[in-house]
């Protein structure tokens, strides 16, 4: 049985050495207590450099009129801890990550740990295949995530990502979806009304001048309802 099947599908890549990829998921707290194991630290270092290169090249080609300062800001938004954490959640990495739970609050994977593993995975692919194929995997992941949430790399408050992360930690599932249930007004001045749903159950609703804004407001409403139930988000 291939335990990486779901991850490989999202990456659009099959690992060539399943035993070697294990290193990408081993936090130092785990590796240091098991003889012969290595942590993901070195691969994280390599993956960080790879991401900078791939994202820099991508942004340079996508925005030919932007200056160096603008591109630097955009790159930071695409590779910072928030962005890498969002990628880790999209890839559903938590079940694979090995660490010593007693050393971490609530025995949960932290945002920084999740981001480190993202970088280590990309480094592992590079070590197997080289730069070009790794670049294709990275761009595939970024574009897949953007197709789900256009605001994920804007650096702005993202209620949808916050809600998704909460469900991942609390219920260990990725079941949030959004449904436009009504529109009002002419096409050039339309208001969208959207449900935020956990499977088929409505947990929030919102409206806005675009589908994107309406879904963000629906996620915000869902988060506020959770807080009213005295659940920590």
Q: Per residue in 113-135, pLDDT tens?
A: 899 999 999 999 999 999 999 99
Active site residue 151: no
- Nearest C-alpha neighbor of 83 from the set 9, 28, 165: 165
Q: What pLDDT, on the 0 to 100 scale, is given for residue 34?
A: 79
Q: What pLDDT, on the 0 to 100 scale, is given for residue 141?
A: 95
pTM to 2 decimals? 0.68
- When the pLDDT of each residue in the chain is averaged and rounded to a whole number, the result is 86
Catalytic residue, candidates 23, 48, 149, 221: 48
Query: How far does Cα 223 stand from its chain's mean position?
Result: 19
Catalytic residue, candidates 116, 119, 149, 165: 119
Q: What pLDDT, on the 0 to 100 scale, is given for residue 105?
A: 44
Residues 6+ apart with CB under 8 A from 84: 114, 115, 116, 118, 119
Average pLDDT over residues 60-73: 89
How would you label 162-171 residue by residue, b for 16+ Cβ within 10 Å and e otherwise? Answer: ebbbbbbeee
Q: What pLDDT, on the 0 to 100 scale, is given for residue 180?
A: 95
Q: What pLDDT, on the 0 to 100 scale, is given for residue 230?
A: 54
Per-residue pLDDT tens digits for 96-105? 999 876 544 4
Pairwise CA distance, residues 177 & 179, whole Å:
7
CA-to-CA separations, 120 to 8, 21, 34, 219, in angstroms, rounded: 15, 9, 19, 31
Query: Could you tell me what percent of the chain has a pLDDT over 90?
Result: 45
Active site residue 34: no
């Amino acid at each position: 049985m291939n335990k990486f099947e779901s991850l490989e599908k999202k990456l659009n890549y099959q690992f060539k050495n399943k035993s070697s990829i294990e290193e990408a998921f081993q936090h130092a707290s785990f590796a240091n207590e098991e003889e012969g194991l290595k942590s993901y630290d070195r691969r994280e270092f390599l993956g960080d450099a790879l991401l900078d290169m791939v994202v820099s090249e991508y942004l340079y080609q996508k925005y030919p009129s932007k200056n160096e300062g603008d591109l630097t800001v955009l790159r930071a938004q695409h590779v910072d801890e928030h962005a890498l954490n969002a990628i880790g959640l999209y890839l559903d990495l938590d079940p694979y990550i090995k660490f010593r739970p007693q050393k971490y609050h609530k025995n949960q994977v932290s945002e920084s740990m999740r981001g480190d593993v993202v970088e280590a995975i990309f480094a592992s692919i590079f070590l197997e295949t080289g730069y070009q194929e790794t670049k294709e995997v990275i761009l595939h992941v970024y574009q897949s995530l953007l197709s789900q949430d256009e605001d994920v790399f804007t650096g702005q408050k993202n209620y949808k990502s916050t809600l998704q992360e909460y469900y991942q930690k609390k219920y260990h599932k990725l079941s949030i979806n959004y449904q436009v249930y009504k529109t009002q007004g002419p096409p050039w001045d339309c208001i969208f009304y959207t449900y935020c749903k956990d499977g088929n159950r409505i947990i929030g609703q919102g409206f806005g001048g675009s589908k994107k804004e309406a879904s963000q407001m629906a996620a915000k409403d869902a988060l506020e309802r959770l807080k009213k139930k005295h659940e920590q988000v």
